Amino acid sequence: MAQNVYDNPEFYEGYEKIRNHPFCYNELIEFPVMQDLLPDIKDKDVLDVGCGMGKFIGYMLDFNPKSITGIDISNNMIQYAKSQIQSDKVTFHVTDALSYATNQKYDVIVSSLAFHYIEQYDTLIKHMYQLLNDNGVLLFSTEHPATTATKQEEIWHHEPNEYNHYKLDHYFDESERTIEWLNTNVVKYHRTIGTLINTLIDNQFVIERVQDTGNTRLSIEQWDEQKIQKVNNRPPFIVIRARKA
Ligand SMILES: C[S@@+](CC[C@H](N)C(=O)[O-])C[C@H]1O[C@@H](n2cnc3c(N)ncnc32)[C@H](O)[C@@H]1O
């Protein structure tokens, strides 16, 4: 069964603070790339998988979509998103992405940093394919395989005050990784770059863009040297845009 860590009250409280910080990784590293790669959504039906607190939905509303549906396994997340977004174009559902069933098809599916929580990647991609209209676009970010590979507790090899050796052990061991974050054991899944991309190709998607995320103009403006160095020495996320052939 899928883990629903965001409904754990202690974890959620910590996460909400991090996600609402204007200089968090999501805002400075991941979000700018998702914004860049978002296709034209004017008059389109859009699905946001693992929409969380609804940040991307709020952004997308400015581009006049026909509708946006946000789904998330966490009731906490959906309640927060509902409290932030007042638009009759938007509907929300609390559901596991793999169980989401609807007769509707979407022109664009976006998903920010949710796919690494889902074990059955091939099933997930097949499901996304079913939910898309012909020629529809799937745009998603996930933790970068270079980040999720290691099974060591200490993920950096430290020279004093430097973050120049990120560990890459167990790269080919595609399986669960449990990390401690906000005093909670969080389960995610490591896959290689080959698996991320070839699963899309095997399911009749055409790859349009693969972007390793690095520092952005915003992160360089807002962060200290040590944080910038960390991102220079390890891509935190990967963003992929693919089209249903
Ligand atoms: C790191 S948060 C990102 C939230 C949001 N997309 C953002 O960028 O702010 C990951 C989200 O994925 C959701 N999630 C995890 N597993 C899920 C699943 N199996 N089905 C649907 N949502 C899931 C979590 O509840 C959480 O809201």
Instruction: Note the pLDDT of residue 161.
Output: 75
Tell me the DSSP string of 66-84: SEEEEEES-HHHHHHHHHH
Band (1; pLDDT cuts 50, 70, 90): confident
Which residues have CB under 6 Å of ligand 1? 2, 6, 19, 26, 50-53, 55-56, 72-74, 77, 96-97, 112-114, 117-118
Mean per-residue pLDDT, 87-99? 98
Question: With bands split at pLDDT 50, 70 and 90, how would you rate the model's confidence at 63?
Answer: very high
Note the pLDDT of residue 43. Answer: 98
pLDDT for 163? 76
Structure tokens at 24: 């968090």
Handedness of CA 227, 232, 234, 239 (dihedral sign): positive
Interhelix angle for 193-202 vs 121-131, to 10°? 40
Confidence tier at 160 by pLDDT (50, 70, 90): confident
Decide if pLDDT at 137 tops 90.
Answer: yes
pLDDT surpassing 90 at residue 159: no
Q: Examine the pLDDT at 59 and tell me if it is beyond 90.
A: yes
Place of tokens 């507790």: 153
The one-letter code for the residue type at 161 is N
Atom of ligand 1 nearest to the CA of 30: 8
Q: Which atom of ligand 1 is nearest to the CA of 97?
A: 20
If one residue of 73, 176, 237 were mutated to test the ligand 1 pocket, choosing by the most ligand atoms within 8 A of its CB, it would be 73
Q: Give CA–CA dist 95/105, Å, rounded.
A: 17
Ligand 1 pocket test: which of 15, 20, 74, 76 has the largest number of ligand atoms within 8 Å of its C-beta?
74
The rounded percent of the chain whose pLDDT value lies above 70 is 100
Domains of the chain: 9-47+56-67+98-244 (3.40.50.150)
User: d(Cα 223, Cα 220) in Å, to the nearest integer?
Assistant: 6
Write down the mean pLDDT value for the chain. Answer: 96
Token pair, residue 49, equals 């998988």
pLDDT at 169: 95
Q: DSSP 3-state helix, strand, coil percentages of the chain (rounded to 5)?
A: 40, 30, 35
pLDDT band at 186 (very low <50, low <70, confident <90, very high): very high
Whether 164 has a pLDDT exceeding 80, the answer reads no
- What is the number of alpha carbons within 13 Å of residue 97 lying toward its C-beta? 33
CA of 80 to the centre of ligand 1 (A): 13
Return the residue whose CA atom lies nearest to atom 8 of ligand 1: 112
**Pocket of ligand 1, candidates 33, 117, 121: which has the most ligand atoms within 8 Å of its Cβ, to mutate?**
117
Buried/exposed 113-147: b ≥16 CB within 10 Å, e otherwise: bbbbbbbebeebbbbbbebbeeebbbbbbbbbbbb
